[in-house]
Amino acid sequence: RVHGEMELDKDTIDKLIDESFIAKTFAYKPYSNFGVGAALLTADGTIVRCCNVESVVFAPSSCAERTAVCVAVSQGHRRIRAVAVCGDSKPGVLTPPCGICRQVLFEFADTTPSGQRDMLVIMSRSDRSYVIEKLSTLLPYAFDSSYVERFTNDEK
């Protein structure tokens, strides 16, 4: 059991980490030389893995986590239970999702038994050791649909 009501067994954690490392080998990183791999675990148990894809103009580049979310959504998945992320970091250094990826991940976070939207984020080091945090810890003030609803209702 990990992080209270959110749980993953060790085999699933190891599988997600392995899949993220496999995905990283496909990273298109000619400009930064920093590959990132991500593996998502959807609510139905499907694993979706992707890598980062760079562009010479950095703005249209796509992080591994956002790429994986897009692939998962295009396959019909709308809820994600966990994500494992690894990168070409220096030894001993974790690779966490960037701020934009955290927000995109939150959009598709699964609903916990207590009714909160959240997921587990497994951040790996190059030696495959890892730290697990809840997304809500990494993104404590997530922007959700309630902000848009309030704005839309205020306009009426």
Residues 15 and 152: their CA atoms lie apart, in Å, by 42
- 3-class secondary structure, 113: coil
Could you say which of 54, 65, 107, 155 is catalytic? Answer: 65
Crossing angle between the packed helical segments 99-107 and 64-74, to the nearest 10 degrees: 20
User: Which among 131, 135, 150, 48 has a CA at the least distance from the CA of 92?
Assistant: 131
Q: Residue 152 phi/psi, 5° resolution?
A: -65, -40
Distance CA 100, CA 143 (A): 11
Is 19 known to be catalytic?
A: no
**Is the Cα dihedral 24, 27, 32, 33 positive or negative?**
positive
Residues annotated catalytic, as ranges: 65
